[in-house]
């Protein structure tokens, strides 16, 4: 007999046979014979009269264990709702909200920066991965995490101008992020709006490094340029506890910021202070101890890397941590070495009194025999790595098990007598002309020579073009002549193309007929196309005249080709899309700058029609194909070299010596860049004989080989000092295997379930048989509720669901976005629909039933058949950082010990996703006493694990609070000193009107420090929370 009054409105009730079905009484009731029918509102427009005897009142204080033992067990959908809601809340630190959020393949190493970033209290990171490993994707993952966790609204990407379109294309294609390429003027307008109108503005903007560089005297408010105004606005609006101009700033090609005296570095410093988070991306080799690494880390954290002496101390201290890691990773583990390394670390001033290292020292004696202790020690060591807090670096050889092999083939060409005669005439004329000339003129003459080696006919045809030098230097090097020669003091008028007079008339038609280099190319192409008519080839040449000539010849010989060169009027996307089609052209003829920012993983042949002077250009050409996503096991690198020309002969020897065609030389960029210019000058020095040129080239080859060996040693040292990635990659792979991410299927199920329970008039229909896509038309009540939520919260993501009169295609899996219809909405955790659903459950937690019974077929799991009790907790620890995790425990009924936490998590996850309802639990042979014992054993295990985790968190929190307080004090001292210097400088210059404003900034800085230290002191008191999310029974049979 029910004890509650059916006439009372607002009581929370549920169905006895389906406890997850919860509603509220309206106060209306009636008799039907001997039955009392009570009206229950299960949603705004779903009211039903139910037999009172089939209903029971829900009390907010109900214990999940009472529900379990009382048999009040819900369905698999109730368990799914519990887990999905916890993930959607965006607070879990052991969940990757960015995992599976893109239209890309999964690579564990790409989540290493995500893990570092999420755990970082600083919110800044240097990502220094080798080229081709996906730094753009890693940065976008981090942005997704910030959106899901903190509701981030504003992202600014700063990159070289030539990469802006690549960023825009990649963000749209891979993440469905609509980014806008923006000028400095427009960015200034946006920033002003944020300062004056509040922080609700949302955008993803891409701007050029070149366009934002501030002048050195930007503080002078008489400087009216957009760049100076933008710099002043940044300087006057640093990030505070409640305001930031940008949520995240990403610098691509960050090595351009490494010189502290440049405008680039100045921009980096200003944007660092104006953004809540910062990412620096660079593929430039990182040498431990180098000035370049120091300057980049100083941008990340100027308070830690205050000067080079401190940087050296950090390296020394960190070496001991990595030595301990190396000893523990050994098989078998070298415990004595690890203990000695930890003692060495504790003796260093950076770690004196460090409680985490004390705990590690206590764990090590048992780490020899207990794997769990060794893993725990490694986890704690990882948290103490000093460099790892600020940077990550992955290399292909470390993170890719099945690396693409490079197969090199040289097509040797020997000029005919006529070609050699013309070539020698031009070479002699060039050397004669070079005597006594300026560097700019010599360089332009060398460009003439390079054209001859590339294509004699193409060169002679195009020499009528007086702008050839500017085109050539731009296409090959990506710079303008004035940039190249500006620091040499040469008169720009001298860069005009010198005239080369030949001693005899040249028969171009005959040269074209005898073109031995082209003959080799067409023979090779036709032989390969005979083997596979659908094969694709990317051919690189550094000279437009060569590309134009080859296009004409190939078309005439029946080989379809398309040209890709630099220029504002070139639609790179359209060219690549045309080339990629099965029915598209066979050959892509590309210049260097033409290929910037494009990915050609669908092709496996790269042809070097000519050999660039800088070997890094060869590496970059190959890198267009040798990237993540290349499906071929081997890529073929074909190089045409004219054996009876000194430059090709010497270059081939040089390239073979440094193995540029066989493996990546990314680690040698700086070395090769220094050597290139010297080699060019030596080869074309008119005072040298042929034998002397050969001798100089041989010396260069030997020096480069020695440098490469040294570079390998330096890179190994870098690995030793930055740390091991194995532990982190194992963590990431485990997270993926355990389902610690929010899938599209989970989101769709959450939405479908929500509308079924609350807004039954909403139409959700499958879209084109896609399990993670749906056509959605909200009911009028749902539109009204969602519209009110949007008006109240102004979400960063837009939607038309609350306004549309027609169904909207909604895609819950980003991998399906490219196949979705036009106008479809991509539903992810930050979408207003999901945030609205989340709020509804937060406001009425009784809607989530926390006890379930499930049946899992034995073929779905490797766990033995039987009945299992399970329990799920959410643990939260709030200190200087916040940690929130879902913890699992499970135990088979009648057994003495619970499963491991990993086994329990896997079992519960499988039951949630694949389980079926389990009815009549106690009638099917379940012993209530055994169930109670197993459930309580789960609770005891979770209690013990919670205490252990709390101890670890308390220790780490103390260390981090100390670091934060020191960092805040150092930062304020540095900032105050800078502002005091400004005041003194303005006073000396008689610029009195700027003094009061600067003194105001000084007071603001002092006030901000006081506030920061108060916040740190408050966060020393850790707030631990344990929430019981659910309990239940799983039958495996």
Instruction: Tell which wins on pLDDT, 568 or 592.
Output: 592
The pLDDT score that the predictor gives to residue 1006 is 87
Q: Kindly tell me the number of DSSP H helices and DSSP E strands found in the chain.
A: 35, 27
Average pLDDT over residues 232-251: 92
Q: Could you tell me which residues are beta bridge partners of residue 836?
A: none
Which pLDDT value is given to residue 439? Answer: 54
pLDDT of residue 646 exceeding 70, the answer is no
For residues 414 and 33, the model is more confident at: 414
Tens of pLDDT, residue by residue over 766-785, are 876 667 888 999 999 999 99
- DSSP code per residue over 416-440: -HHHHHHHHHHHHHHHHHHTT--HH
CATH top-level class of 102-304+390-394+725-736: alpha beta
pLDDT classification of 899: cutoffs 50, 70, 90: very high
CA-based nearest residue to 75, from 927, 932, 919: 919
* Amino acid 285: pLDDT: 55
Compute the radius of gyration of the chain from its Cα atoms: 34
Which position has the higher pLDDT, 319 or 523? 523
pLDDT in tens, 67-90: 888 888 888 988 988 898 888 887
Q: What is the pLDDT of residue 264?
A: 94
Cα–Cα distances in Å, from 651 out to 411, 495, 506, 641, 701? 14, 26, 28, 9, 9
- Confidence (pLDDT) at 493: 40
Q: Is 956 exposed, middle or buried (0-12, 13-18, 19+ CB in 10 A)?
A: buried
Greater pLDDT, 988 or 272:
272
Average pLDDT over residues 402-418: 82
pLDDT at position 680: 56
The pLDDT of residue 467 is: 47
Range 212-224 average pLDDT: 88
Delimit the domains of the chain by residue range: 1-59, 102-304+390-394+725-736, 307-385, 406-654+670-704, 743-828, 851-1036
**Cβ within 8 Å of residue 144, ≥6 positions away:** 97, 98, 101, 102, 175, 828
* Among candidate residues 904, 732, 813, 835, the one with its CA nearest the CA of residue 85: 835
Q: Specify the 3-state DSSP secondary structure of 761.
A: coil
Residues 346-399 have pLDDT tens digits of 888 778 788 889 889 888 988 877 777 888 888 888 878 888 889 888 877 666
Q: Do domains 1-59 and 406-654+670-704 have the same CATH topology?
A: no
Determine what percent of the chain is predicted with pLDDT higher than 90.
27
Tokens of 840: 């509804």
pLDDT in the model for residue 434: 66
Predicted pLDDT at 504? 53
Q: 């002549």: which residue's tokens? A: 481
In this predicted model, which residue has the larger pLDDT, 287 or 282?
A: 282
| Residues present in the chain in total | 1037
CATH 3.40.50 fits 1-59, yes or no: no
What distance in Å separates the CA atoms of residue 444 and residue 427, rounded to the nearest whole number? 13
Least confident residue range of 225-229, 464-468, 829-833, 927-931 = 464-468
Q: How many other CB atoms sit within 10 Å of the CB of residue 165?
A: 17
d(C-alpha 835, C-alpha 148), whole Å: 10
With CA atoms as reference, report the closest residue to 94 among 689, 873, 664, 755: 873
Is the torsion defined by CA of 130, 132, 134, 136 positive or negative? positive
667/708 Cα distance (integer angstroms): 8
Helix axes 112-119 and 726-737, enclosed angle (nearest 10): 90
Q: How far is CA 982 from the centre of its chain?
A: 38
pLDDT class for 803, splitting at 50, 70, 90? very high
Segments in 348-395 forming alpha helices (H): 355-367, 371-384
State the alpha helices, DSSP H only, in 108-206: 112-119, 135-150, 164-175, 184-197
Q: Are 983 and 998 in contact (CB under 8 A)?
A: yes
β-strands 866-878, 882-892: how paired? antiparallel
Given pLDDT bands bounded at 50, 70 and 90, which one contains residue 44? low
The reported pLDDT for the residue numbered 997 is 86
**Please, what's the largest Cα pairwise distance for the chain?**
119
Computed over every residue of the chain, the mean pLDDT equals: 81
- Nearest-angstrom CA–CA distance, 870 and 911: 11
Q: C-alpha angle with apex 701: 541 to 472, nearest 5 degrees?
A: 25
| C-alpha span between 617 and 613 (Å, rounded) | 8
Tokens 């990340």 belong to residue? 300
**The sheet that has 866-878: what strands, in order across it?**
882-892, 866-878, 1023-1036, 851-856, 916-917
Q: Three-state SS across 286-303?
A: CCCCCHHHHHHHHHHCCC
Around 537, how many Cα atoms within 13 Å sit in the side-chain half-sphere? 26
Dihedral sign (CA 691, 697, 703, 708):
negative
Residue 841 host element (H or E): helix 832-843
How far, in whole angstroms, is CA 92 from its chain's centroid? 19
Per-residue pLDDT reduced to its tens digit, 915-956: 999 988 887 778 888 999 999 999 999 999 998 888 888 888
698 vs 930: CA distance, rounded Å: 82
CA–CA distance, 388 with 125 (Å, rounded to integer) = 9
Q: 391-395, 416-420, 668-672, 984-988: which has the minimum mean pLDDT?
A: 668-672
Pairing between β-strand 248-251 and β-strand 154-159 as defined by DSSP bridges:
parallel
Joined together, the tokens standing for residue 778 give 């909200």
| Mean pLDDT value across residues 896-900 | 89
- Closest by alpha carbon to 1028, among 889, 925, 907? 889
Query: Is a pLDDT exceeding 60 seen at residue 517?
Result: yes
Whole-number pLDDT of residue 933: 92
Tokens of 325: 């890691």
Find, among 638, 618, 689, 661, the residue nearest to 413 by Cα. 638
pLDDT per residue as tens digits for the range 440-491: 566 666 667 777 778 888 888 777 554 444 444 444 443 444 434 433 333 3
Q: What pLDDT does 613 receive?
A: 67
Check residue 673 and give its pLDDT: 47
835 against 32, higher pLDDT = 835
Torsion angles phi and psi, residue 4, rounded to 5? -100, 155
Which range has the worst mean pLDDT, 130-134, 565-569, 967-971? 565-569
Output the pLDDT for position 503. 47
pLDDT tier for residue 331 given thresholds of 50, 70 and 90: confident
The CATH fold assigned to 406-654+670-704 is Rossmann fold (3.40.50)
Residue range 146-165: mean pLDDT, rounded: 90
Over residues 980-1015, the pLDDT tens digits come to: 998 888 888 888 888 888 888 888 888 888 888 888
Distance, CA of 396 to CA of 762 (rounded, Å): 49
**Burial grade of 389 (CB within 10 A; 0-12, 13-18, 19 or more):** buried
Please list, in sequence order, all residues whose beta carbon lies within 8 angstroms of the beta carbon of residue 629, skipping any fewer than 6 positions away.
105, 599, 601
Q: What percent of the chain has pLDDT over 70?
A: 82
> pLDDT digits over 175-200, tens only?
888 999 999 999 999 999 999 887 67
- Confidence check: pLDDT of 606 > 60: yes
Start-to-end Cα distance in the chain: 36
Which strands, in side-by-side order, build the sheet including 405-413?
A: 405-413, 634-642, 605-608, 537-540, 587-590, 561-564
pLDDT at 155 over 90: yes
Residue with tokens 């570095």: 265
d(CA 652, CA 692): 18
Question: What's the pTM value of the predicted model, to 2 decimals?
Answer: 0.72
For range 882-905, the mean pLDDT: 91
- Residues forming a β-bridge with 875: 885, 1026
Question: Of 246, 285, 92, which is closest to residue 739 (Cα–Cα)?
Answer: 92
Q: Is the dihedral of CA 219, 225, 231, 233 positive or negative?
A: positive
Confidence of residue 807 (pLDDT cuts 50, 70, 90): very high
Q: Is it true that the peptide bond before 332 is cis, omega within 30 degrees of 0?
A: yes
Using pLDDT thresholds of 50, 70 and 90, give the confidence band for residue 263.
Answer: very high
Strand spans (E) along 547-694: 561-564, 587-590, 605-608, 634-642
């Amino acid at each position: 007999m029910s004890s509650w009054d059916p006439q009372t409105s607002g009581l929370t009730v549920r169905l006895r046979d389906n406890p997850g079905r919860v509603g509220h009484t309206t106060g209306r009731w009636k008799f039907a014979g001997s039955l009392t029918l009570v009206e229950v509102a299960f949603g705004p427009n779903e009211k039903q009269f139910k037999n009172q005897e089939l209903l029971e009142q829900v009390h907010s204080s109900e214990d999940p264990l009472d529900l379990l033992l009382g048999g009040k067990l819900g369905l698999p959908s109730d368990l799914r709702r519990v887990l999905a809601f916890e993930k959607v809340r965006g607070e879990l630190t052991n969940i990757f909200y960015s995992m599976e959020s893109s239209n890309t393949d999964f690579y564990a190493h790409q989540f290493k920066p995500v893990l570092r970033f999420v755990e970082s209290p600083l919110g800044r990171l240097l990502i220094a991965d080798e080229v081709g490993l996906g730094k753009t994707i890693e940065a976008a993952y981090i942005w997704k995490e910030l959106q899901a966790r903190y509701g981030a609204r504003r992202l600014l990407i700063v990159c070289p101008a030539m990469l802006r379109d690549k960023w825009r294309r990649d963000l749209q294609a891979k993440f469905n992020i609509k980014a806008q390429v923006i000028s400095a003027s427009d960015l200034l307008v946006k920033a002003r709006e944020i300062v004056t109108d509040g922080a609700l503005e949302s955008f993803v903007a891409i701007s050029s490094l070149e366009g934002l560089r501030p002048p050195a005297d930007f503080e002078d408010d008489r400087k009216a340029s957009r760049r100076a105004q933008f710099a002043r606005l940044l300087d006057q609006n640093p990030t505070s506890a409640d305001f930031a101009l940008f949520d995240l700033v990403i610098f691509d090609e960050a090595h351009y910021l490494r010189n502290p005296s440049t405008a680039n570095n100045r921009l980096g410093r200003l944007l660092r202070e104006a953004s809540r988070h910062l990412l620096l991306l660079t593929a430039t080799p990182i040498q431990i101890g180098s000035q370049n690494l120091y300057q980049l880390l100083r941008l990340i954290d100027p308070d830690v890397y205050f000067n080079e002496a401190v940087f050296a101390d950090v390296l020394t201290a960190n070496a001991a941590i990595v030595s301990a890691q190396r000893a523990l990773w050994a098989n078998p583990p070298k415990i004595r070495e690890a203990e000695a390394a930890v003692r060495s670390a504790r003796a260093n001033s950076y770690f004196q009194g460090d409680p985490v290292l004390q705990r590690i020292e206590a764990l090590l004696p048992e780490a020899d025999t207990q794997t769990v202790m060794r893993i725990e020690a490694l986890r704690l060591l990882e948290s103490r790595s000093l460099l790892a807090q600020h940077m990550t670096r992955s290399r292909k050889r470390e993170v890719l098990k099945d690396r693409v092999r490079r197969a090199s083939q040289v097509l040797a060409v020997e000029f005919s007598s006529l070609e050699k005669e013309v070539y020698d005439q031009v070479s002699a004329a060039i050397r004669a002309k070079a005597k006594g000339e300026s560097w700019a003129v010599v360089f332009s003459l060398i460009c003439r020579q390079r054209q001859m080696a590339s294509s004699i006919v193409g060169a002679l045809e195009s020499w009528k073009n007086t702008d050839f030098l500017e085109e050539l230097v731009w296409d090959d090097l990506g710079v303008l002549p004035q940039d190249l020669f500006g620091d040499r003091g040469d008169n720009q008028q001298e860069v005009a193309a010198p005239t080369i007079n030949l001693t005899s008339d040249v028969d171009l038609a005959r040269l074209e007929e005898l073109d031995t280099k082209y003959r080799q190319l067409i023979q090779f192409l036709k032989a390969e196309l005979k083997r596979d008519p659908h094969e694709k080839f990317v051919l690189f040449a550094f000279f437009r005249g060569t590309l134009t000539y080859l296009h004409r010849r190939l078309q005439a010989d029946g080989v379809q080709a398309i040209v890709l060169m630099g220029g504002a009027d070139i639609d790179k996307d359209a060219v690549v899309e045309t080339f990629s089609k099965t029915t598209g052209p066979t050959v892509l003829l590309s210049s260097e700058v033409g290929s910037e920012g494009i990915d050609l993983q669908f092709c496996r042949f790269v042809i070097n029609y000519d050999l660039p002077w800088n070997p890094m250009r060869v590496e970059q050409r190959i890198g267009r194909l040798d990237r993540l996503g290349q499906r071929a096991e081997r890529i073929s690198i074909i190089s045409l070299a004219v054996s009876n020309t000194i430059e090709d002969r010497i270059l081939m020897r040089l390239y073979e010596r440094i193995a540029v065609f066989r493996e990546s030389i990314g680690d040698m960029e700086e070395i090769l860049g220094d050597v290139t210019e010297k080699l060019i000058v030596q080869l074309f020095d008119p005072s040298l004989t042929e034998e002397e040129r050969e001798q100089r080239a041989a010396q260069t080859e030997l020096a480069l080989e020695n440098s490469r060996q040294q570079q390998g040693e330096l890179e190994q040292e870098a690995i030793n000092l930055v740390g091991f990635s194995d532990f982190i990659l194992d963590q990431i792979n485990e997270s993926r295997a355990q389902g610690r991410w929010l899938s599209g299927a989970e989101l769709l199920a959450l939405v479908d379930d929500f509308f079924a329970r609350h807004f039954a008039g909403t139409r959700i229909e499958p879209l084109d048989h896609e399990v993670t896509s749906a056509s959605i038309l909200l009911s009028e009540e749902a539109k009204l509720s969602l519209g009110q939520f949007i008006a109240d919260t102004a979400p960063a993501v837009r939607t038309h669901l609350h306004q549309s009169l027609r169904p909207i295609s909604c895609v819950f899996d980003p991998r399906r976005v490219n196949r979705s219809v036009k106008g479809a909405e991509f539903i992810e955790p930050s979408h207003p629909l999901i945030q609205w659903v989340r709020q509804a459950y937060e406001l009425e937690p009784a809607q989530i039933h926390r006890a379930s019974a499930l049946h899992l077929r034995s073929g779905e799991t490797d766990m033995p058949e039987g009945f299992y009790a399970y329990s799920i907790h959410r643990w939260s620890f709030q200190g200087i950082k916040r940690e929130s995790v879902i913890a699992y425990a499970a135990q088979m009924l009648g057994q003495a010990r619970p499963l491991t936490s990993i086994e329990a998590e896997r079992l519960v996850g499988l039951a949630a996703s694949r389980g079926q309802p389990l009815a009549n639990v106690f009638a099917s042979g379940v012993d209530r006493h055994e169930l109670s014992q197993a459930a309580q054993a789960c609770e005891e295990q979770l209690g013990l694990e919670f205490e252990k985790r709390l101890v670890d968190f308390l220790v780490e929190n103390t260390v981090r609070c100390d670091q934060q307080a020191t960092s805040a004090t150092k930062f304020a001292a540095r900032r105050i000193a800078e502002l005091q210097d400004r005041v003194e400088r303005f006073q000396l210059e008689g610029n009195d009107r700027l003094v009061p404003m600067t003194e105001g900034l000084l007071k603001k800085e002092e006030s901000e420090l006081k506030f920061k230290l108060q916040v740190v002191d408050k966060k020393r008191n850790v707030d631990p929370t344990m929430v019981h999310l659910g309990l239940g029974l799983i039958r495996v049979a």
